[in-house]
Amino acid sequence: MMTRMVMQRIGIGFATLWVVSVIIFVATSILPGDVAEIVLGQSATPETLAALRAELGLDQPWYVRYFSWLGDMAVGDLGISKAGGATISSLIGGRLGNTLMMAGWVSVISIPISIALGLWAAMHPGTWLDRIVTFGTLSLISVPEFFIATIAVLVLAVELHWLPSTAYMTGEESFWELMKALAMPLITLVIVVSAQMIRMTRAGILNVMSSPYIEMAILKGVPRGRIIMRHAFYNAIGPIINVIALNLAYLVSGVVIVETIFAYPGLAKLMIDGVQTRDLPLVQACAMIFCGTYVVLILLADIGSILSNPRLRNPK
């Protein structure tokens, strides 16, 4: 039963990925104005347009283009960027590494902090410390990422002169210099992502706390700390795994803003530049990577919550 459910989820995941590819392709290709027009711009004559379209394969019907695009993408050929004519794979290569490095550090820092604070707040509901955590995280999730980034620049770079306000990297700096360059975007993203995770962890625990068996434990006099650590926590693991994966997925949008504001050479910055210059092949490739990651993370969350639920793990 469990294997079947997991396989089913993986199947749905692939189906979603396929639909995502259709959405991205349709949104960027069937709309008026094609790459040939954008490339040639003012100098377009009907003949040059037709020639370039034939060269790029744009004269083919859309379904032929879709499948050749999908096929190329599947074997790692992401196409050629409009600007400069470099292959998109070469543009993305290093950028993707930078973004993954950032995401990795954010996860390593924010997951333990969030679970600890969320648990702690759930253990003391209604106290003024819990109120501060609740109010603080609510405020943080209500404001745009760039608000937090702006305040971080104001305090840490302008007022205190502790950190540089841009994450400029040459690729040859020492570990310490690298950390210093990464610090500001890291701090911003950790705040953004942790606020969400703390709230959801706290809510997940409190949700479990309202079930009848906890009520029973309260009535028979089990101490509060023991109820949370022994009774509630294990049943909240499923929701918490879900929360973690969802928030790493939430990183996707945080990364877009943070890489832009700190000029961090990551994939999101590349994509924004692509949107600004309307470099559609580049945007398609980046969007596919981001959306694919997002779908996979949510799939992992789904599978995680199936695995952590004994009723689903052990078939009747």
Partner 1 sequence: MTQQVTSKKEEEVIAELDSFAELPDSPPKRKFRLTWVGYVSSAVVAFWLIICVIGPSIAPFHEMDMEGDDSFLPAYSGEYGSFYLGTDYLSRDTLSRILYGARNTIGISLAATLIAYLIGITLGILAAVKGGWIDMGISRVNDAILALPTIMLGLIVIAALGSSIPILIGTAAVIYATSVFRIARALGQDIMVQDFVEAAQTRGEGIWWIIRAEVLPNAAMPLATDFGLRLVFVVLFISSLSFLGLGVQPPASDWGSMVRGNLGGLTYGSYAAIWPALAIASFTIAVNLIVDDISAKSGGSLAKKMV
- Rounded to whole angstroms, the Cα distance separating 189 from 256 reads 11
Cα dihedral across residues 244, 247, 252, 257: positive or negative = negative
- Interaction between residue 51 and partner 1 (CB under 8 A): no
- Rounded to whole angstroms, the Cα distance separating 216 from 313 reads 26
Nearer to partner 1, 80 or 252 (CB): 252
Instruction: Tell me which residues in 166-225 interact with partner 1 (CB under 8 A).
Output: 199-200, 203-204, 206-207, 209-211, 214-215, 218, 224
Nearer to partner 1, 186 or 298 (CB): 298
- First vs last Cα of the chain: how many Å apart? 9
Instruction: Tell me which residues in 228-247 interact with partner 1 (CB under 8 A).
Output: 239, 242-243, 246
| Residue for token pair 């504001």 | 261
Nearest distance, CB of residue 290 and partner 1, angstroms:
5
Please spell the DSSP secondary structure of 81-141, one letter per residue.
-TTTT-BHHHHHHHHHHHHHHHHHHHHHHHHHHHHHHHHHHHHSTTSHHHHHHHHHHHHHH
- Rounded to whole angstroms, the Cα distance separating 103 from 116 reads 20
- Rounded to whole angstroms, the Cα distance separating 181 from 175 reads 10
Q: Which residue in the set 260, 266, 267, 300 belongs to the binding site for partner 1 (CB under 8 A)?
A: 260
Nearest distance, CB of residue 143 and partner 1, angstroms:
4
Q: Which residues contact 243 (CB under 8 A, 6 or more apart)?
A: 196, 197, 200, 201, 204
Spell out, one character per residue from 79 to 108, where the chain touches partner 1: x when CB under 8 A holds, - when not.
------------------------------
Q: Which residue in the set 94, 253, 304, 307 belongs to the binding site for partner 1 (CB under 8 A)?
A: 253
Q: Which residue in the set 192, 302, 306, 308 belongs to the binding site for partner 1 (CB under 8 A)?
A: 302
Nearer to partner 1, 190 or 231 (CB): 231
Nearer to partner 1, 154 or 315 (CB): 154
Nearest distance, CB of residue 59 and partner 1, angstroms:
20
Residue type, 30: I
Stretch that binds partner 1, among 20-28, 49-57, 81-89, 170-178 (CB under 8 A): 20-28
Instruction: Tell me which residues in 127-166 interact with partner 1 (CB under 8 A).
Output: 130-131, 134, 138-139, 141-147, 150-151, 153-154, 157-158, 165
Tokens read off for 1: 């039963």
